[in-house]
Amino acid sequence: MFEVTQATEVYSTIEIAKGDVAAGEQAADFVVERTFRVGLQEQLYIEPQGAIAYPYRETGNGKRETGVTVVGSLQCPYYVHRALKRALALTDEQAVVIQAETGGGFGGKEEYPSIVAIHAALLACKAGWPVRLIYDRHEDLAATTKRHPGVISHRTAVKKDGTLLSQDIYIVLDGGAYCTLTPVVLSRAAIHAAGAYSCPNVRIRARAVATNTPPNGAFRGFGAPQSLFAAELMVEHVAERLGMSSVDLRRKWMLRVGDTTATGQNLTESVSAELVLDAALRAVAPNRLTAQPPIRHGRGLSLVFHGSGFTGSGERKLSGTVAVAGLANGTFQILTASTEIGQGTKTIFCQLAADALGVGLDKVVLAPQDTSLVPDSGPTVASRTAMIVGRLIQEAATELRDRAKREPLPLRVEKTYVQPDSIHWDEATYRGDAYPVYAWACTIADVDVDMTTGEVRVTDVVTAVDCGKALHPVMAEGQIEGGSLQAVGWATIEEIKMKDGGYQNDRLATYLIPTALDAPRIRTILVENPYSRGPFGAKGIGELPMDGPAPAIIAAIHDATGVWLDEVPATPEKVLAACTSR
C-alpha cells in the first residue's frame, strides 16, 4: 500500500468540532471545495546521524561502572536515555546520554537518534569496546524519517460579502510503515488546520494512516506546515470565487483578541494577525508588473499562526525541570537538558540567567547536556525552548539571586513547570486551550517563472513575525531566514520520488536543497507583541517560519501564470504541465 488516500490501516484519528457546519453551509452563498497535496521532505541537517557508545559509564576519576554511555548528535538527551533504559534494561543511573555538538536537527534528531544509540550500544556491549556508528549520507537519506506527506481537503462556506460561515476539513497524513511521533504530528496538523481565522462552524477530521513506505516523523513545524498550506491556499480560492482581494478576505476573517479558535480556545493576549499583516504589507514595494518573456513575475502572501510549546496537556505531563547553580567561585551554571542545535539555546539561556542574576554574561555557563548531570527539561522541540524552558531558567535564576543575598554559595535552585490554572484542555474532546499562546507571521513571496521550462525562482521573501519578544534579534532573524529557505525548498525543488515503497532520491546528488545561488533575498521584520508568561514576553519562533512560505509561493506562481497548483513541491515538471494544459 503506497497511496495515502487508499490506505486503510489507521494509526490515529482526531475530530475537532465547533458549531454546526451543516447550518453554515445552508446559509451560504458559495461553498468552495478544494483538495491539496503536500510531499515528503528530508530535514537534511548537514551532519548525518551518529553516535558513539561506551559499554560502561564513568563515575569520576576515570572509574568505570556497569552501564552504557552514549555520546551523539541529538536534540533530546532524555528521549535517548529512555530508549536505552528500555532496550538494554538499564536503570536511570546506568544509562548516560551526552549530547555532542550537533550539526543541525530540525526534528530529524528528535526521535531517530534513539535507534542509532541503541544499535551502537548493543554493538559496544557485545564487543566490550566503544563503538562509533555514523550514517553516511546515503544511509541517512534512505532510512531516517521525513516530513509527513498528506492530502488535505477543504469545504468552505461563505456569504457573498466574504463572511466566513463554515470550514469542513479532512486531513490524511501518511505515517509510513511504523508509527513514530505520527499521532502527535497529526494533532498539531489538525489544530492548525483552520488557519489563523475566526469561523463559527468548524469540523476538522484528521487521520494518520500506514503505508508500506519508510516511517515519517518529526520535522520543524510538525504537521502545521502541511495543514496551513491548505488553509492558506483555501483563502486564495475563496477570494477568487468571491472576486475579492485575498488580503481583504484575510483581514475580514483573521483572529483577533476575544475570538475563539477551532478548539474553542478564547484568545486573550498576544494575538497579532493584523499586526504582522500590516507590517509585511508596509515592508514591500509595489509589485513589479512587467517581465521580459519568457519570464513572468508573481507575488503571493500568506498569514499563519503557530502554537508555542507542547499541544494541550503536553507541558503539564512533561513537567520540565531546570536548575541554576551558584558555584563557590562566584560563577553560575545552568543545568538543563534543552540542547543547542544551532538555534541559539546556549546564548539565550545564558542571557536570561545573567540578566536575572544581575551578573555579566561571562559569569554564566551552560552545564554539558549530560543526563548524569542535568535534569529533564523536556525535549528540544515544539518551539518550547525559549518560552517554557527559558522562563523556568529566568525564575530559577531570580530565586537564586534572592537567596544568595541571605545564604552563602554554593546554592542550587530547581524549577519545574507548573501549568497555569487558566489553561484548560480536554484531550478526549479536543476542546480548550490547545497551546498556551501563538506566534504569528505574514510572508510575502516574489517569484520569477520561466514559462518555457516551468522553473520557479523565488527572488524575495519578506516575513513579518511576532514572536512576543526577540530575546536575541540576530538569532531570531536567523531562525526566520533559515526556516524560510527550508520552506522555499519544500515548496519548489525538494522532491522525493518513490519506487516500490523506497526513496529514489536517496543521495545528495538526487535530493537537492537550495544553494546560496537559489536562495531568495530574505527580509525579516520583527514585530513584538509580548506574552505575559514568556520570558520578557517571548513566544516560540523555531517552527513558525516553516509555515508561511509554501502557500505564499504557490499563490505567487498563480499570480505569475494564472495556474493553481494546490500542491508542493511545485516542481518545474508540474508547473510546466499545468501551464501547458491551461
| Residues between 205 and 244 that touch another protein (CB under 8 A) | none
Q: Is 346 in the site for another protein (CB under 8 A)?
A: no
Q: Is 478 in the site for another protein (CB under 8 A)?
A: yes
Size of the site for another protein (CB under 8 A): 58
Helices (H) and strands (E) in the chain, counts: 14, 24
Q: 76 or 254: whose CB is closer to another protein? A: 76
3-class SS of residue 116: helix
Site for another protein in 289-308 (CB under 8 A): 294
Q: Which CA distances in Å does 534 have to 270, 373, 453, 523? A: 11, 26, 48, 25
Is 522 among the residues that bind another protein (CB under 8 A)? yes
**What is the secondary structure of 292-350 as a DSSP string?**
-TTEEEEEEEEEEEEEESSSTTHHHHH--EEEEEE-TTS-EEEE-----SSSSHHHHHH
41: contact with another protein by CB under 8 A: no
In the complex, the smallest distance separating the C-beta of residue 472 from another protein, rounded to whole angstroms, is 9
Query: How far apart are CB 523 and another protein at their closest, in Å?
Result: 8
Strand partners, 527: 466
Q: Which of 282, 288, 317, 507 forms a contact with another protein (CB under 8 A)?
A: 507
Report helix angle 246-253 to 224-242, nearest 10.
Answer: 110
String marking each residue 128-157 x if it binds another protein according to CB under 8 A: --------xxx-------------------
CA quadruple 277, 282, 288, 294: dihedral, nearest 10 = -40
* Binding piece for another protein, criterion CB under 8 A, among 86-94, 432-440, 503-511, 535-543: 503-511
344 lines the binding site for another protein (CB under 8 A): yes
Q: Taking a C-beta distance cutoff of 8 angstroms, is the pair 330, 363 a contact?
A: yes
- Near another protein by CB under 8 A, which window of 271-279, 303-311, 337-345, 435-443? 337-345
Residue 374 Cβ, how far from another protein at the closest point, in Å?
Answer: 20
Smallest distance, another protein to C-beta of residue 510, A: 5
Cell numbers 509561493 correspond to: 553
Q: How many residues can be counted in the chain?
A: 582
Question: What minimum distance in Å lies between the beta carbon of 128 and another protein?
Answer: 22
Cβ closer to another protein: 46 or 418?
A: 46
Distance CA 154, CA 498 (A): 27
List the interface residues with another protein, window 102-121 (CB under 8 A).
102-106
Retrieve residue 297's grid coordinates: 513575475
Position 96 contacts another protein (CB under 8 A): no
In eight-state DSSP terms, residue 48 is P
Q: How far is the CB of 84 from another protein (least distance, A)?
A: 24
DSSP 146: B
Q: Please provide residue 10's backbone torsions phi and psi, each rounded to the nearest 5 degrees.
A: -115, 130
Q: Does 513 bind another protein (CB under 8 A)?
A: yes
- Whichever of 27 and 143 has its CB closer to another protein, that residue is 143
Return all residues near 464 (Cβ < 8 A) that are at least 6 apart: 275, 276, 277, 278, 279, 280, 283, 441, 442, 524, 525, 527
Strand 64-65 relative to strand 164-176, pairing: unpaired
Mark the segment that binds another protein (CB under 8 A) among 152-160, 210-218, 227-235, 497-505: 497-505
Task: Say how far apart CA 92 and CA 255 lie, in whole Å.
Answer: 45
The smaller minimum CB distance to another protein, of residues 357 and 485, is found at 485
Asked whether the beta carbons of 549 and 519 are under 8 A apart, the reply is: no
Distance in Å, CB of 145 to another protein, minimum = 16
Terminal Cα-to-Cα distance of the chain (whole angstroms) = 32
Q: Does 48 bind another protein (CB under 8 A)?
A: yes
- Nearest approach in angstroms of CB 396 to another protein is 26
Among 5, 212, 319, 453, binds another protein (CB under 8 A): 453
Tell me the Cα Rg of the chain.
24
Q: Taking CB under 8 A as the rule, does residue 196 contact another protein? A: no
Is position 550 an interface residue for another protein (rule: CB under 8 A)?
no
* Residues 39, 60: Cα–Cα separation, whole Å: 49
341 binds another protein (CB under 8 A): yes
Contact call for residue 183 and another protein (CB under 8 A): no
465 makes contact with another protein (CB under 8 A): no
Q: Which of 260, 313, 372, 510 binds another protein (CB under 8 A)?
A: 510
- The site for another protein (CB under 8 A) is made up of 43-48, 101-106, 136-138, 294, 341-344, 452-455, 457, 474-475, 477-478, 481-486, 493, 497, 504-505, 507-510, 512-519, 521-522, 572-573, 576-577, 580
